[in-house]
Structure 1
Amino acid sequence: MFAYDAEVTERYPSIRAGVVHATGLVNGPSPPALSEEYAAVQHSARERLNATAIADLPSIAAWRRAFSAFGAKPTQHRNAAEALQRRLAKHGDVPSINALVDIGNLVSIRYAIPVAVFDKADVAGSTTVRFATGAELFTDLGSSDSTHPEPGEVVFVDDDDVVSARRWCWRQSAQSATGATTVDALVVVEGLHDTAQRDVESATHDLVELLAAYQPQSRVTSYLLSPESPAAENAGR
């Protein structure tokens, strides 16, 4: 199951999310067609950034407000979507990592909203988005040492109180990162801005279509979440 805790939806009633559960995956380098599509989306996003500052994108501005509300400095801890946009603006491209990550980044760049791709293998049971107590454990990418989130920050946490993502959509854990062995993944796309419902629905549709095109052997189910419907009961099972 994947769910938002009631405290989170009460504090952030504009939250909208798409959750895509994919099994039977065969992850690896992106095929040429996906690489071409990825490059085309980055080109379009660079043109958008020529007309609109990153901080003025409504989706990014909404995440900055959310981060400030739970005590994270949004200019110090960039949400994942803003980090990708800034990478594009500074370096001109976002390099390929693997097919699953590229699919997530492609959709994130297209809509300027966060998309996280979690390997389910080392995630215990359900994933809940809630405020941290500070007792949970988090292992950063590239590290073997565990730390604790700040009390009150929004985290993605499993049934063993192990954190998959800190500061909502800032940093993903080492255990949840996808790689060559990933066969079961949860993809989460989120928005808080005025048109979040429309954009999240479109982004979720795109994720399903991309997985169908580039992971045709996989089985994919998708869910749309809101404060009125905060849980995907069968996601990740």
Structure 2
Amino acid sequence: MHFAHSPALWRDFPQLVPGVLHTKGLAADVSVEETVRRCYARAGARLADGGPESGLPQIQAWRRAFAAMGLKPTRYRCAAEALLRRFRKEGSLPRVHPVIELCNAVSLAYAIPVGVFDVARINGGLTVRYAEGDERYETFAGAEEHPAPGEVIFADDARRAHARRWTNRQSGRSAVREETGEVLVVAEALHGTAPAEVAELVGTLGEALRTHWGAAPRSAVLTAAAPRFEL
């Protein structure tokens, strides 16, 4: 199995910086409270210093990308902006699976979208690409949709879309479950200081996985010259 972005996406968004992490040996009975608390504190300080999340350079870059794709940024927000909005209003996020809690907290801390996929639910490789229109997307409620041609999706070799509108909406099919033991984590950024921040984000996440689960994650920051990650 592999992960990559299509050449067309690298052409249209040359500023893209993807960080990828793969790990096994996960379980649902682990507490990640310590790491989550530190990430919440960093996110809170960022919002206090920088004003609303919509003004952060990390979020502004995604808003420009969504506008370039023909999506209204205030209707379709990247996952990091949606999390930051909820965190600003409520001061915390719902507690679900500890892997999701960890990745959401890290996303908050860095204001960078982070997607988490159950590897067992992906067929073959996973490519971020423009949809052709016949791919199948499964909602969290179990309904099936077909992304519009040209929409940016995470597609596997069975032509299933595991995310729609790039970093806006993940599929229920490959969502982390209680029995999930192996995940692929993808962080993507488009702002000017993304190379250093994505590398730091991946390092923070990897250290947390080692600390809380005793895992041995593999990770990489991809580029247009080296766009492929082998699991």
Q: Check whether the contact 2:79–2:167 (CA below 8 A) recurs between aligned residues.
A: yes
Deviation at residue 50 of structure 1 after TM alignment? 2.3
Q: Check whether the contact 1:128–1:156 (CA below 8 A) recurs between aligned residues.
A: yes
Correspondent of 1:153 among 147, 151, 154? 151
Residue of structure 2 in register with 1:56 after alignment: 55
Q: Could you tell me the TM-score, scaled by structure 1's length?
A: 0.93
Gaps of 5+ in 1: none
For residues 20-78 of structure 1, give each alpha carbon's deviation from its aligned partner in whole angstroms, at most 9, with x where no partner exists: 0111222x1541xx213312321331232123221110010000111111122111111
* Amino-acid identity (%): 39
Residue of structure 1 in register with 2:220 after alignment: 223
Q: Could you tell me the TM-score, scaled by structure 2's length?
A: 0.95
- Find the aligned partners of 1:71 and 1:199 in 2 and give their Cα distance: 27
- Runs of 4+ with >6 A deviation: none
Query: 1:1-237, aligned counterparts within 5 Å?
Result: 1-26=2-27, 28-31=28-31, 34-52=32-50, 53-141=52-140, 143-216=141-214, 218-232=215-229, 234-235=230-231
Count residues in correspondence: 229
Aligned Cα RMSD in Å?
Answer: 1.2
| Cα distance change, pair 12–106 in 1 and its aligned pair in 2 (3 A) | same
- Find the aligned partners of 1:15 and 1:101 in 2 and give their Cα distance: 24
Gaps of 5+ in 2: none
Q: Check whether the contact 2:121–2:173 (CA below 8 A) recurs between aligned residues.
A: yes
- Find the aligned partners of 1:131 and 1:192 in 2 and give their Cα distance: 18
Q: Which region of structure 1 is more displaced relative to structure 2, 34-43 or 169-178? A: 34-43
Q: Check whether the contact 1:107–1:203 (CA below 8 A) recurs between aligned residues.
A: yes
**Partner-residue secondary structure (3-state), 1:17:** strand
